[in-house]
Amino acid sequence: MSLFKARDWWSAALGEGEEFDQGCLCVGDVDNSGTGHDKIVVGSYMGMLRIFSPHANKSSETGIADAQLLEVQLQNAIIQVEVGKFVSCSELLHLAVLHPRKLSVYSVSGTAGNVEHGDQYQMKLVYEHNLQRTACNMTYGTFGGVTGHHSLCIQSMDGMLMFFEQDSYSFGRFLPGFLLPGPLAYNSRTDSFLTVSSARQLESYKYETLAVATEAESRQDPDLPLKTGGKRLMPDWTFVLGEQALDLCVPSFSHSSSSIFILGERNLYCLRDNGQIRFMKKLEFNPSCFLPYASVTDGTTNLLLGNHTNMLLVYQDVTLKWAAQLSFVPVAVRVANFPELKGAVVTLTADGHLLCSYMGTDPSFFSTPKVDAREADYEQVDAEMKKLQKFIREATRTQDILPKTDAEEDLSVATTVSSSIDSPSQALIQDIDGLPVPSVTIQVTVKASCVVQSSKLTIGVQPPLAVTQDQFVLEPMGVGSSTVVAFSAFLNGRYPPADLTGDITVSYSSPTGVPRVLQSRFSLPLALVCVPSSPAKTTNFKITVDTNQPPVDLSSIFREFSAKSEDKDGNSLAFQFLSGAKVTVLASKTSQRYRIQSDSFEDMWLVVKELVQRFDQHFSKMGVKDFKKSFSGPLPLQEYFLSVDHHFQLRVSAQQYQDLLSERAVQFRAIQRRLLTRFKDKTPAPLQNLDTLLDATYSQVMALAEAAEENRALLEEAFVRLRSATHLLVLLLSLWQGLTPDQTAILEATLLPLLQDTPQLGWEESCDAAVSHLLRSCLSRSPKDQATSLAQTGGPVLGLPRDTARLKKHITLLCDRISKGGRLTLASEANVQVPAQVQNLAAPEKKESSREPSEATVKEEGGGEEPVKEAKKEKKESSKEKKESKKDSSKEAKEPKEEAKKESKKESSSSKEKKEKKEKDKEKEGKEASKESGDKKVSRKSSVKVKEKKKEPEAAEG
């Protein structure tokens, strides 16, 4: 325990929830006892005024009550308190209290008590001034050299100095160039006022100059000519501080007769009365308050300085003499003389901790008790270790990171979607291409099991679907009460949605005040976005779904559409989307196949999804447990890539529109500046068709803005269509390979990482990063490649790519890996053991082998074209590796040579960043190859396969 602490002599906690600041503390013999002992006066922003007379060793509750002389609740916040001779014809000290709009002067007196309760103190109002402007701070002194009493000067928030001579108002002056108020102090030696302006400079104004300056009855612009008599107010001298000042003080000690101290945010300044600097101290901490006081050495001044590291420092000029530790950050510090302690340091915190302390070195007599030395029971420690390890393993296995819900929720939400279409329809768009737009009613029942206040219900649907009202403020509910909310959903756009589900979110506060959120989901009917129609015979896109059960009558599955269908056999059914293409479903009479065909690839998604869901429901009702559905045909990747390219082109157009708008806006502002310069000129020059150029530029800006807005609407529609196409691709891939629900969820999160495009992040780069991660991790060809990818750290910043070739290639490779038996999982990464030679791949100072796939990744992502010499070196190296790889394993020799040639070309396009490392590793590879050459002899085709296996992760990075 350190000896250098501020020793607690007396302390008190002032109220709860009150705030204090720099001017809220002062010390003095406010009750005029004549003993010369000080009292502590504290005022708070809550309007509470307290006066204390501390005693030693009485910091308990009874001690605080004995020391407190007076506590008064005033009507307004207390900004500053001062003790001085503020009443004319009286030598007694009075208390001045500054409120935001009032200055009050009180007299504090004590009466000897006749009983054991002690003396009685009371505070009487002598006079007060109502201020016309909001006050910031004040100072007092013998203005104009008048002795015997003190005058007051108040600085307002708008820069006016208001002077009061006892109970009368003298005059007011505005400070020139004022922006924000700073600290204010009066220098009695030069009869001048000091303040720090917003220009971060110290300014000095003589009282005589202020008295004869222009009268400040109303705020005037200093640049305007004077309308009345008087001189313009100018400072006598200024000193540039370069930082904002926290406090300002002018001590009046005989041996430091010409010192002005300024506490800045980073420095401590000391100036002479004429503005010349004496010294400056750069602080290595953030100060909070300071106080100069008398020194025992002539020509120097001692300084108390508190900072935000809970330290109280004592300086003699610039020399640190003492450092004491506090338990808080002081905002005000004073030195006071009490009957039992002279020179006590009084500190106050922002939350009302008042402390009287002294800086002594009383030792602490606390000693640490000895601990019984006993031998450890290793069996018990081992058992406890095993128990803890078991807990850790169980905690790491649990994937559920959400807290367990209670057995009974405070609220329950039940959603009911009407089985019939609304009549009349609530849709904002009456018809689309001659087809009426329907709407459906959804009822939400919220039931409470306890008292619930201020609950709010929010509905969210996928664009372009909309609801009649998306927010409801629910009435307070008691135990067992329920509230029913109804609204309608409808199509509000010229394109079909990607999802027919909606979300309901109820936010409320539990009885204990904890905010909670309850979510529920509902599904809208397919009839909301399409109507039955006649089947189409010729279409562009076709999808075939196989089942292992006999053919099903389509009219029995889609009952709401079969009533208006022209086909009575139930073998065909057509859906005409209100704002899209026609989708036809054909059922084979002999086989167990169903064909979905349409002229739009994206519009088939909702029908295929509905068909698969209704098959599951139909066969589960019939009790069929081994029902299976599959997709045998090739994946429609080319059709899917059409949606990707369309979305990407609209993103590129949006970026181009933004660049053009920026250029035209710069041009528009430049023309405006030139025109404004000519209009301001007293003898303007000819416009030289600048006005015509301005009109033309304005027209271009408006046309570009309209085109950009139209492109934004098209981009929103393209993203919804892209979501539909992606959902359809994921469904077909899961049917094709029989993926589990968990694997399907991983695939959907990979191909749809965003719910909407943002200006900073788009779908293409997000999807590419997610697919690349799967190709490097769980879909990697070998555990070594997977461990290599896990050892890499960091990556490039995601941005709009130049084209979609890389993304298409990665998606194609993803589907190919899954078709060859790759399985999607996120848990496999934790089970891969990283080889010893790969563990330090991420460290930049270690050498990396040129055969590692991580190098290919860095090369491809680095980008850029290489010189011809570098390409030649890489080709030579690839040919050399082909010769050496003949000595490797001979498995899988049937792979085509064309793919190996493509892969070798990719290696030759690597960047400069790894050139030196590859040359160093060249010799190492030659030695390894020479060792392997003596073991086995294999066929020539095996080198092609080895080459392909080595380059496969590079293709993933492509």
pLDDT tens per residue, range 758-790: 878 899 999 999 999 888 888 887 666 655 555
pLDDT given at position 358: 87
Reference 150, options 41, 256, 252, 42; nearest CA is 252
Please provide the distance, in angstroms rounded to a whole number, between the alpha carbons at the two ends of the chain. 63
Structure tokens at 283: 């602080």
Residue with tokens 């599959």: 630
Residue with tokens 């640490």: 368
Residues 6+ apart with CB under 8 A from 364: 1
Residue with tokens 């006598």: 236
Instruction: State how far the Cα of 135 lies from the Cα of 104, in Å rounded to an integer.
Output: 13
Please tell me whether the peptide bond between 100 and the residue prior to it is cis, using omega within 30 degrees of 0. Answer: no
In 741-751, which positions are buried (b, 16+ CB within 10 angstroms) versus exposed (e)?
eebbebbbebb
> CA torsion sign, 927 to 930 to 935 to 941?
positive
Specify the amino acid at residue 460: G
Q: What angle do CA 676, 679, 682 make, to 5 degrees?
A: 135
Give the burial class of 452: count Cβ atoms within 10 A of its Cβ; 0-12 exposed, 13-18 middle, 19 or more buried: buried
Q: Where are the alpha helices (DSSP H) in 589-740?
A: 604-621, 637-680, 690-737
**In sequence order, what E strands does 197-327 have?**
201-206, 237-240, 245-249, 260-264, 267-271, 277-282, 287-293, 302-307, 311-316, 319-325
Instruction: State how far the Cα of 322 lies from the Cα of 324, in Å rounded to an integer.
Output: 7
Instruction: State how far the Cα of 873 lies from the Cα of 12, in Å rounded to an integer.
Output: 81
Query: Max Cα separation, the chain?
Result: 120
Instruction: State how far the Cα of 238 lies from the Cα of 196, in Å rounded to an integer.
Output: 9
Residues 6+ apart with CB under 8 A from 601: 540, 541, 636, 639, 640, 642, 643, 725, 728
In the 8-state DSSP scheme, what is residue 90?
A: -
Instruction: State how far the Cα of 300 lies from the Cα of 696, in Å rounded to an integer.
Output: 73
Cα torsion for 887, 890, 895, 900, to the nearest 10°?
Answer: -20
Residues 6+ apart with CB under 8 A from 405: none
Q: What angle do CA 260, 262, 266 make, to 5 degrees?
A: 150
What number of other Cβ atoms are within 10 A of residue 443's Cβ? 14
pLDDT given at position 124: 93
* 68-73 and 48-52 strand pairing: antiparallel
Instruction: State how far the Cα of 870 lies from the Cα of 59, in Å rounded to an integer.
Output: 82
Instruction: State how far the Cα of 186 lies from the Cα of 195, in Å rounded to an integer.
Output: 9
The separation between CA 287 and the C-alpha centre of its own chain, rounded to angstroms, equals 29
* CB contact at 8 A, 441 and 418: yes
Q: Count CA atoms closer than 13 A to 224's CA, side-chain side.
A: 7
Structure tokens at 440: 């459906």
Long-range contact set of residues 583-590: C-beta below 8 Å, sequence gap at least 24: 583/530, 583/607, 584/535, 584/536, 584/539, 585/554, 585/611, 586/535, 587/551, 587/552, 587/553, 587/554, 588/551, 589/551
Instruction: State how far the Cα of 305 lies from the Cα of 284, in Å rounded to an integer.
Output: 12
Give the burial class of 855: count Cβ atoms within 10 A of its Cβ; 0-12 exposed, 13-18 middle, 19 or more buried: buried
pLDDT given at position 714: 94
Specify the amino acid at residue 53: S
3-state secondary structure at position 741: helix
Instruction: State how far the Cα of 313 lies from the Cα of 422, in Å rounded to an integer.
Output: 78
Phi/psi region, residue 864 (left: phi>0; alpha: psi -120 to 50; beta: rest), is left
Please report, for residues 18, 81, 347, the alpha-carbon distance to residue 48 in angstroms, rounded to integers and kept in the order given: 9, 12, 18
Residues of the chain with pLDDT under 50: 1, 59, 222-229, 406-407, 793, 828-920, 922-958
* CB contact at 8 A, 432 and 578: yes
pLDDT given at position 410: 80
Instruction: State how far the Cα of 747 lies from the Cα of 814, in Å rounded to an integer.
Output: 10
Q: Which residues pair with 271 in a beta bridge?
A: 260, 277
Instruction: State how far the Cα of 251 lies from the Cα of 188, in Å rounded to an integer.
Output: 10
Reference 778, options 770, 381, 234, 127; nearest CA is 770
What number of other Cβ atoms are within 10 A of residue 181's Cβ? 21
* 245-249 and 629-630 strand pairing: unpaired
* CB contact at 8 A, 251 and 259: yes
Instruction: State how far the Cα of 676 lies from the Cα of 684, in Å rounded to an integer.
Output: 10
Reference 195, options 152, 230, 160, 228; nearest CA is 160
Please report, for residues 178, 410, 453, 508, 510, the alpha-carbon distance to residue 514 in angstroms, rounded to integers and kept in the order given: 47, 12, 11, 9, 5
Instruction: State how far the Cα of 947 lies from the Cα of 904, in Å rounded to an integer.
Output: 8
